[in-house]
Structure 1
């Protein structure tokens, strides 16, 4: 057997062949695979189990956000509020499908779901519960009517929802602890009027008048671990983007002001199972370290959580509920 022939008794782990140390012909690391690649001068690789430890988390921060909603939302849940105990209402929009999932009681294994495809008017209503009859016939009818009206309102004001959440993200990441609406729902009201009488069902006339004179402000106090930027930071706000949506394992760090690419994060995996993350500073950047990239990615995760919390809070107030307890900041 030639000196370079593979050992038939103890062959090289094929997973190691994908790593730089094996590619350069250097000795394969000992121990069970997978193994971490050798560090480059300005890179850092962290095992998945060691990523985002609690010591890296920023302190809790209280942020106060206000949303502009149509006045028709104010009393929208009056007929069902007595059936709800710290409810959680989740809205999942899609290209063709949509779902409203209501957890009406905090201590019950109970879920009320409204699902639709293409048209809210053709939505299906279902109750999933271990109880045989968690609601009476009249209560079920009231819940269904309320969820259908909420679905129509969410569909009509989906653009306002997206703008409100984007505004909260924009403000809070820049250190603003009180985010207020900068525009009215006039655009959505124009859309409602353009649909014509009866286009939105029974709730259409109210929504059609939801312009600046027919709106109200609702407030939610959210808790977040998203840190305020340092005034002396070279890159106060950094966005983490996915240049290719089909490859979520390759992320890019971009300065939100200048648009400069600062670095990259690569997910290392074996057979689709992630085991480590590699952070690499961009070649033409000299004021960033791999540790900066790690911190920015931690903050990116906190931004995503904040966006989801703000979105759910807006869904609640648009449906006529108070902001959900689960996202509110309490001391």
Structure 2
């Protein structure tokens, strides 16, 4: 970590005119690291960018379900927010137009309201609106039915990438079909095909030099988002804390603190955990969240008959 991103260790430097925020307690470099908010930029510290291929099981009639609506779309984005009580399915049909087509509901998809928001007076004809509404309602029903499977698939993609794989595929039976082959149920149920998406990510693979595998970030008190803890997933061992430092309600820095029992490793050996590890693990937590969002977005597109969206870079 470059010195320029840290709260200055010299008290005089902390009191300099350009030193934002209140004067903090002195950091112990072995166990404590304070990073100013303006320097807490994940992409600058994250691991190198890489492409991963995510495969999903998709009903074989999904693609055809969007045949009528596809001519009305140009590089569309479909955003699904199911919610516990209120759900929204929002379509941005064209990348070059300020148009949003929304299906929203409370409790039940069957009672959804359809609306179009646009700066253009008539972005679609009446016939086009009928097609859009019918497709969105069918899409909402399918996504509601597949909601549990979507979350399982997203978790599988993230876990595979964390384990070091560059390709994530759903579990297959012994008779594995080739990509894009349709798998039909002998009882006449809807078959499935393989949908594929290329996702860009900065999620790192396994670190063979670390004594800890995957480290999760958790909130010990949901009512206090300014205090996070970092926990080794395999052992449930607490490794450190990340605390938001605020001045009159405005966050200005983040403090990473290694917990006492993991400060030192084997006798005369290196420290088991240092503050820079906590920073890296927190960065990776954010990268996993980004990857999960991208995987979910790709699967929503595929299930509703659209092409998976292009990979998005979070470069800095």
Asked if TM exceeds 0.5, the reply is: yes
Which residue matches 1:283?
260
Which residue matches 1:206?
none
Larger Rg: 1 or 2? 1
SS of the residue 2:124 aligns to: coil
Structure 1 residue 318 and structure 2 residue 303: aligned?
Answer: yes
Structure 1 residue 233 and structure 2 residue 203: aligned?
Answer: no
Which residue matches 2:239?
262
Which residue matches 2:184?
none
Matched residues, number: 278
SS of the residue 2:65 aligns to: coil
- The 5 Å alignment of 1:81-160 reads 81-160=70-149
Q: Hey, what's the Cα distance between the residues in 2 that align with 1:282 and 1:210?
A: 58
1:200-220: per-residue Cα shift (whole Å, max 9, x none)?
xxxxxxxxx896x61221010
Q: How far did residue 83 of structure 1 move?
A: 0.6
1:103-162: per-residue Cα shift (whole Å, max 9, x none)?
111111111111000111111111111111110001001000100111111111100011
Unaligned runs of 5+ in 1: 1-25, 185-208
SS of the residue 1:247 aligns to: coil
Q: How far did residue 271 of structure 1 move?
A: 3.5
Which residue matches 1:59?
48
- The 5 Å alignment of 1:162-173 reads 162-173=151-162
Task: Tell me, yes or no, if the aligned pair for 1:222 and 1:328 is still in contact at 8 Å.
Answer: no
Change (3 A) 1:111 1:66: same
Runs of 4+ in structure 1 over 3 Å off: 29-33, 326-329
Q: Hey, what's the Cα distance between the residues in 2 that align with 1:77 and 1:131?
A: 24
Structure 1 residue 175 and structure 2 residue 175: aligned?
Answer: no
Change (3 A) 1:33 1:233: closer
SS of the residue 1:314 aligns to: helix
SS of the residue 2:220 aligns to: coil
Change (3 A) 1:172 1:210: farther
Q: How far did residue 72 of structure 1 move?
A: 2.7
TM-score normalized with structure 2 length: 0.82
SS of the residue 1:127 aligns to: strand
SS of the residue 2:257 aligns to: strand
SS of the residue 2:71 aligns to: helix
1:143-195: per-residue Cα shift (whole Å, max 9, x none)?
001001111111111000110111111111121111111279xxxxxxxxxxx
Q: RMSD in angstroms over aligned alpha carbons?
A: 2.3
Q: Hey, what's the Cα distance between the residues in 1 that align with 2:274 and 2:216?
A: 16
Unaligned runs of 5+ in 2: 1-10, 174-186, 265-271
Which residue matches 2:4?
none
Which residue matches 1:189?
none
Q: Which has the higher helix share?
A: 1
Q: Hey, what's the Cα distance between the residues in 1 that align with 2:109 and 2:172?
A: 27
Q: Hey, what's the Cα distance between the residues in 1 that align with 2:313 and 2:227?
A: 33
